[in-house]
């Protein structure tokens, strides 16, 4: 199994299980089945509203002797309504309680967007806090405090551009150790990946298969569907694999982590076995040629221009 090594020597399994959109009543069994198959990296977030059930699955795996806590790598994320210094600690404490853990391996700022502490998802502009009302510096300082207290071993971000990463790097102290972003053949973000690697920031690919089961209000006509790309399908046929397996191994071959989500035992096994595939340099070049810089998760649901949030300011492009 490929792994990514942090500067302190900790190794994170590059292949993991995503839990976004995993329904209550399904995700506990999915976690247990995944761990039995050999998964050791579980990606969570408070806003997924299933961390309590994920925690039940992790607890059962540990109690049954399938794994120890030290065998697992668990990632979670700080939601947008906890960006103020005084809100970050209660947020991670809630996550730790739900997951039944004493520490998180990796804790990420979920989005570079801030809400009022009493708002889960704003219905209007009033629910947002502008970048001046709660600065990235304040939130990053809070994250570093959580790390120093031992509540999380590593800290990072998600959905951050090069510009936003550089702002945190310029602060000095602990640099972000991870940037989790949307990555697939239609959105390869090679410049961002290269920047991260040059600054010892690991990268995790989310929505690597196209996230076709996301809510309808997050879908658009004509959007890219990586699983249906003809190059990917032909490559899968050559390898006796599924298109999903090709997308997974492509992400791993790029030196990134990847966290496909499934609650289906057959697909969990299939996704895990993608790690056995080897793509040639020619095949990697063929996939590289598919890049169209097309986002599936474009952040339009965080549009609040009066508070300083537009798609342009979110991605800095």
Catalytic, 48? Answer yes
- CA distances (Å), origin 55, targets 23, 27, 45, 94: 14, 10, 12, 12
One of 6, 39, 48, 103 is an active-site residue; which one? 48
Catalytic positions are 48
């Amino acid at each position: 199994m490929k792994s990514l090594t942090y500067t302190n020597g900790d190794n994170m399994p590059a292949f993991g299980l995503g839990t976004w959109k995993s329904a209550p009543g399904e995700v506990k069994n999915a976690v247990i089945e995944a761990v039995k198959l050999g998964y050791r990296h579980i990606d969570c977030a408070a806003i997924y509203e299933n961390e309590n059930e994920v925690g039940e699955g992790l607890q059962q795996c540990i109690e049954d002797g399938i794994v120890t806590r030290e065998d697992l790598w668990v990632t979670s994320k700080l939601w947008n309504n906890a960006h103020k210094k005084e809100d970050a600690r209660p947020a991670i404490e809630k996550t730790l309680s739900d997951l039944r853990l004493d520490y998180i391996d990796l804790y990420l700022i979920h989005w570079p967007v801030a809400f009022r502490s009493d708002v889960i998802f704003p219905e209007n502009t009033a629910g947002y806090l502008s970048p001046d009302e709660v600065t990235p510096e304040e939130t990053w300082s809070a994250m570093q405090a959580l790390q120093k207290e031992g509540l999380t071993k590593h800290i990072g971000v998600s959905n951050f551009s090069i510009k936003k990463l550089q702002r945190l790097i310029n602060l000095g102290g602990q640099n972000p150790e991870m940037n989790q972003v949307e990555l697939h053949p239609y959105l390869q973000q090679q410049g961002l990946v290269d920047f991260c690697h040059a600054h010892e920031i690991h990268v995790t690919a989310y929505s690597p298969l196209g996230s076709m089961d996301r809510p309808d209000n997050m879908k658009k006509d004509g959007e890219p569907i990586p699983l249906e790309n003809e190059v990917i399908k032909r490559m899968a046929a050559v390898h006796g694999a599924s298109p999903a397996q090709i997308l997974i191994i492509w992400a791993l071959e790029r030196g990134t982590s990847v966290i496909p989500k499934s609650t289906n035992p057959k697909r969990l096994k299939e996704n895990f076995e993608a790690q056995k595939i080897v793509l040639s340099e020619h095949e990697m070049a063929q996939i590289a040629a598919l890049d169209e810089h097309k986002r599936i998760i474009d952040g339009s649901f965080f549009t609040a221009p009066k508070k300083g949030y537009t798609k342009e300011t979110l991605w800095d492009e």
